[in-house]
Amino acid sequence: MQFVAPELLSFPTSISSSSLENRFGSSRFVCAEKAILSTRNNFGVIRASCTSSEGRTVPPPASVKADPGFSIETRPGMSPSFESVSTEPRTLPQVLLVPDSGTAAAAAPQTSGLSDDSVAGRGGYEYHLKGLRAGVHNPKLVVVGHRGCGKNKSLSQGEAIDSWPSIRENTIASFNQAARNGADYVEFDVQVTKDRHAIIFHDDYIIVEDKVPRKIGDLTLEEFVGIGPQKNFAKEGRSLYRKARDGTLNPWTATMEDPLCTLEEAFKHVDPSVGFNIEVKFDDIDETSDVELQRVIYPIVESVRQHSNGRRIYFSSFHPDAVHLLRSLQSTYPVFFLTNGGSCIYNDQRRNSIQAAIAVCQQGQLQGIVTEVQAVLHEPSLISLIKAANLWVFTYGEFNNVEEAVRKQKDAGVDGVIVDHVLEIVKLEHQLEDQHPPISSSYSTTSSRTAILPVF
C-alpha cells in the first residue's frame, strides 16, 4: 500500500498526456472505438479522446486507479489528447489509501462497456428502465421482485408460520422464479468479501451454528459459499441462522432451498429477460470510510462491466456517498438513491426525508429515488415533487404486497414497485394497464395530490 498526501489541484483548459504523467504519476487509459469517457476522480472531471489515423475523434473509456495520477496507452493508429471538463479545484482526503499495483481486484474498475451514452439525453437510461420516461405519468408500472421472489421471514417466539411458500432469497432459483412470474426486474443486495468478490446477501451480518455474527467483508469467498445449501448435494454446508425481531436466533430455512451465489453467477445463470436492481449494501449503523466505499464498489462495477452482456440494470444504495461514487464511475446505468422517507432518523441528514433525497440526486446527477412506500401513501404530493425534479420514483415496503396500495400508486404516477408477492402484483398490473390506459403521457401534479389517500 502507499499513501497519497493531500494536495489542492486545479487544471488548465488543456493538458497534454505527458504533463499529466509527469505531475501525477501513472495509471492507465485504454482506448476503444466506442463511448465517451467522463471520469470523475478526486481532483475533478477529465475527458479524454483519441484521434484515429483517419482523423476521426474516438472518445475512449478508461481505467483510473484510486490515486490521482494517470497516463494513456493507445491502440495502433490512435494518438491521445486530453481536455479538462472541470477546472474546479478539489481537495483530496487527508490520507488516501491506494492499493498496490499488484492488487488487481482493489484497483478502480475499467470503464470499457460502461459508456457515457446518456450525457446528451436520457435514451440510454430509458432502455435500462423498460422504456419509462422521467418526469411523466408512465403507462406501465414496473414490478421488481424483492430479493428475487420475495424475502424470507425470521419468526419470533410464538409467531405463526406464514403459509406463503418461500424460496431462499437472493439465490438463482428465486431470481428465475420471479422471472417466470413476470417480474420486470429482481432486486438483490450485493456485498464484497475479504478477497474482493462481489456476492449476493442481504443482512449486515451472517450467522452460522456457532451463533457468532460475522460481516461479509471478514469472510473469503470460499468461506461464504461454504455456508447454507451446497451445489454438491453430497456436501453439507454450515447451517445458517437469522435474528428475529424479538432478538432470538433461529435456523434459517425456506420451502425451496438453493445455494448462496455471487454476482457473476447471477449474470450467467439468471434468465436474461429479467433486469437487475443491484443494491449496494453498507452497514446502517457504523460509519463507512472512503476506503471501504471503494473496496466494495470497485469490484461490483468491474463485475458488471465484465458480465452484464446487455442486461437491463440499475444501481441503488441507502448510502449517499456510495450512490455518488457509483454515478461518478459510470454513466451507462441509472443510479437511484434509497430512502425510508423519514420513518427512521439518522445522523446523516441526507437520509431523513424525500426532500433531502431529491437534493442528493441533484447534487450527484442521479436518475431516481426508491422510497419506503408509506411516505408517499401518507403524503402523495411527494410524488409530484420527485417528478418535478425529472427523477424516476420507485417504492418498497410491506404495503407493496397490498393490491389497493399498488393501485393507488399507479394512479398517482409511481414508476415501479418492489414486491414480495411477484405473481399477484404482476397480474394486478396487467389488469390495471388494460382497464385504465393513460389519457396523456404528461404528468399531472393535480391528480397526484388527490389519487392517494393516507389510509394506512
The values of phi and psi at residue 17, to 5°, are: -65, -35
At residue 442 the predicted structure's pLDDT band, cuts being 50, 70 and 90, is very low
Q: Find the Cα–Cα–Cα–Cα dihedral 388, 274, 397, 227, rounded to 10°.
A: -140
State residue 246's pLDDT score: 87
Nine-digit cell string for 249: 436466533
Nearest-angstrom CA–CA distance, 139 and 37:
34
State residue 322's pLDDT score: 98
* Contacts (Cβ under 8 Å, ≥6 apart) of 390: 134, 135
Q: 83 forms bridges with which residues in the sheet?
A: 14, 47
How big is the chain by its Cα radius of gyration, in Å?
23
Q: What is the pLDDT of residues 287-328, one digit of tens each?
A: 899 999 999 999 999 999 999 999 999 999 999 999 999 999
At residue 434 the predicted structure's pLDDT band, cuts being 50, 70 and 90, is confident
Query: Torsion-angle region of residue 120: left (phi > 0), alpha (psi -120 to 50) or beta?
Result: alpha
At residue 19 the predicted structure's pLDDT band, cuts being 50, 70 and 90, is very low
State residue 328's pLDDT score: 96
At residue 107 the predicted structure's pLDDT band, cuts being 50, 70 and 90, is low
Nearest-angstrom CA–CA distance, 72 and 79:
9
Least confident of 150-154, 183-187, 220-224: 150-154
- Angle (deg, nearest 10), helices 320-329 and 354-364: 30
Instruction: Examine the pLDDT at 410 and tell me if it is beyond 70.
Output: yes
pTM: 0.74
Instruction: Examine the pLDDT at 94 and tell me if it is beyond 50.
Output: no
- Angle (deg, nearest 10), helices 422-435 and 403-412: 40
State residue 438's pLDDT score: 52
Mean pLDDT of 278-285: 92
